[in-house]
Structure 1
Amino acid sequence: MEGRHGTRKIISPGDPFRDWVVSLFDGQVRDPACCLTVSQIRPASHMVCRCTSDGGDLDVVVKFFAEPTGKIREYDPERAMKREYRMLKKAQKAGVPVAQPLAVNRTFKCALVTAYVPGTPLGVHITDCSSLYSRLSAVAGVMRLLHARRSSSYEKAREFSTFHDVLDQVELSQRKRGRFNDLLGAWWHSGDLDRRRGCMIHRDATPANYLFQGEQVTAIDFESAWTRAHPVHDLGVFCAEMKSLFREQYGDPSAAEPYIGHLLREYAGSSAEFEGVVAALPFFMALGYLRTARLDLGEKDQRWLIKEAERCLRRP
């Protein structure tokens, strides 16, 4: 789990947090009296630290839900902590390669402990186009495993509610917001997003949340995961992020299209499923663009993202 590391500090035996973390590895740490080195990992929406023992036989990541660092601060940290732990367990049970969830503890600022995952995020490999196809095949496989965890129902209204929530966070003129509302209405009635059953999704399926060590991939950060969702939600967000990355890296978002096509073909199990994915994809790609447009970007970048989102939503 590579990231930009901030200040490091050493915590010694007798520190309650250190003693609790070491206790999770009872009998597995060669020196139970070891010190822990704590290093902050950035960027992250909460305080996130890597904790390692002197001998290296203890290596974990701790997310402190009661210490938000992003814009969203009005939430129940204990509930969020337990929810991500539960979602990681669900994904793990489905065979999805995830950072192993180890423990939660509300006493220590609502801490979630997971095993440390070495590797680099997929976005780092954008420049290595020769290996990108195989890495995207691996990502498609992970998505299929996760989406195979079916739900008994599907909440289409929640997908649209989320879209409207994201629109609320993007600065749009009243006229443009009205245009988006009309486009969303056409999608609601189109039937392209209808299905009988939903599934589990990551919901923040960005290239940054797929770590590679060699050809092995691990999905991380299940804080936003959902059940009863549309599987193409993850694909759409991921594809929008890919086009944005290629625009940033090469100045040409269309250069991502062969890779996106490969991802979708690897994901779809049949021609009928591929057609269903393609039919729903523009809606969720638009959502992906608007998610990014919420960030503090330059006017030119934000304008491009909003324009692309609107273009995706326009129906033939």
Structure 2
Amino acid sequence: MSNRQYLGYLRRDDPLYSYLRHEIQPLLTEAGQQRAEYRVFRLNASNDVFLYEEKYSGAKVIGKFFRCGRTDNAAKATARLNREFDSLCALRDCGLTGSPHHVAQPLGRNSALNALLVTENCEGQLLSKVILATIANGDQAHLFRKLTGLAYFLATFHNRTAAASGGIDFQRNCAYMEQLISKLMRIGGIGHDEADELRWLREQWRRQTRMWEDQQVLVHGDATPDNFIIGSGLHVSGFDLERAHCNDRVFDVGRMAGELKHFFLRATGDRQAAEPFIGHFLWEYACHFPNRESAFRSITGRIPFYLGITLLRIARNTWVSRDYRRYLINEAKECLRGY
């Protein structure tokens, strides 16, 4: 499901071997399997995430460690582990299992093993690979179809978890933007004057009643192309829900729109290259509401803020070059001026 690096076999004296062999393996294969050997692959992910493939049965699972070193806070790591486990369970309880909407099945959690979460391995192609392939080969129709599936998945994800009462606490998103501004200042991406400009733009959005009015839903919280696996037809699998929380549905939709803009901007240098795909994605998302046009107006009225903070989020990464960081910040400000 991702770029992976083969590391060898899991040692039998590793406590993880016993856990996989006796707690996880019985969930995947018939009882009575006499032997078990696990090939280990490191996946290209922000956490310590590995794929474990049992040699004889071929069963595969994903192991995600929330505590990556002795200096990490054990209580915080366990809290993150439990939040993701509970979010996966809650969404599967809402019917996001099978096709076309699937959330990875949690198979086990073990706080003693560096806060380990074990989930099923979802087969398919990462959305990020689909986007990059479209940029390389120009097959726009394929990406349009897959964005239709993603829009359907996210609309279902959001609509099935809509809170019975309670509007959006937009203050939370303003506070998140402050974190991004502070990080950009620390790494020298912006100075005090530009930070004040961004804060002024944020206050204009805070004053807009539309940012507070919608019903909150459970959002993925990290809706990036590396966290969705695309299958045949409209099938989409979602995973990596450690940042799931209640918020404006456009938090997710805007994050994906910003990621699309970033992928095309970085590859082509054309600030407009992603616009047809973003527009298609938003229009397809809006079709899952009683009044599509009204939903589209509501979403697009809020999208510039979330698109802007997504670009700031990408800009604060250390792997971003100085020139590209400046480009992202300028684009973010253009979005945020759309209040």
TM-score bracket for the superposition, by shorter chain length: over 0.9
Amino acid paired to 1:306: I
Cα displacement string for residues 220-243 of structure 1 (whole angstroms, at most 9, x for unaligned residues): 21111112x000011111111101
- Which residue does 2:105 correspond to in 1? 100
Give, in angstroms, the shift of residue 6 of structure 1: 4.8
- Which residue does 1:304 correspond to in 2? 327
Matched, 1:150 2:162: yes
- Which residue does 2:196 correspond to in 1? 178
Structure 1: gaps spanning 5 or more residues = none
- Which residue does 1:291 correspond to in 2? 313
TM-aligned CA distance change 1:73 to 1:275, over 3 Å: farther
- Residues 84-163 of structure 1 aligned to structure 2 (within 5 Å): 84-96=84-96, 97-126=102-131, 127=134, 128-148=139-159, 149-151=161-163, 152-153=165-166, 154-163=168-177
- Residues 1-316 of structure 1 aligned to structure 2 (within 5 Å): 1-12=1-12, 15-23=14-22, 24-26=24-26, 28-30=28-30, 31-42=33-44, 44-67=45-68, 76-96=76-96, 97-126=102-131, 127=134, 128-148=139-159, 149-151=161-163, 152-153=165-166, 154-171=168-185, 172-195=190-213, 197-215=215-233, 216-227=235-246, 229-268=247-286, 269=289, 270-296=292-318, 297-315=320-338
TM-aligned CA distance change 1:245 to 1:81, over 3 Å: same
Identical pairs, percent = 26
Cα pair 1:8 1:40 within 8 Å, conserved:
no
Give, in angstroms, the shift of residue 27 of structure 1: 6.9
Root mean square deviation of aligned Cα: 1.9
Cα displacement string for residues 138-175 of structure 1 (whole angstroms, at most 9, x for unaligned residues): 10011111111112323221111111112111132111
Cα pair 2:35 2:56 within 8 Å, conserved:
no
Cα displacement string for residues 205-256 of structure 1 (whole angstroms, at most 9, x for unaligned residues): 11111112333221121111112x0000111111111011112223323121
Amino acid paired to 1:18: Y
TM-aligned CA distance change 1:315 to 1:249, over 3 Å: closer
Amino acid paired to 1:161: A
TM-score, structure 2 as length reference: 0.86
Give, in angstroms, the shift of residue 125 of structure 1: 1.4
Q: Distance in 2 between matches of 1:280 and 1:116?
A: 35
Q: Distance in 2 between matches of 1:91 and 1:143?
A: 12
Q: Distance in 2 between matches of 1:213 and 1:11?
A: 34
TM-aligned CA distance change 1:51 to 1:195, over 3 Å: same
Give, in angstroms, the shift of residue 120 of structure 1: 1.8
- Which residue does 2:99 correspond to in 1? none
Structure 2: gaps spanning 5 or more residues = 97-101
Cα pair 1:285 1:312 within 8 Å, conserved:
yes
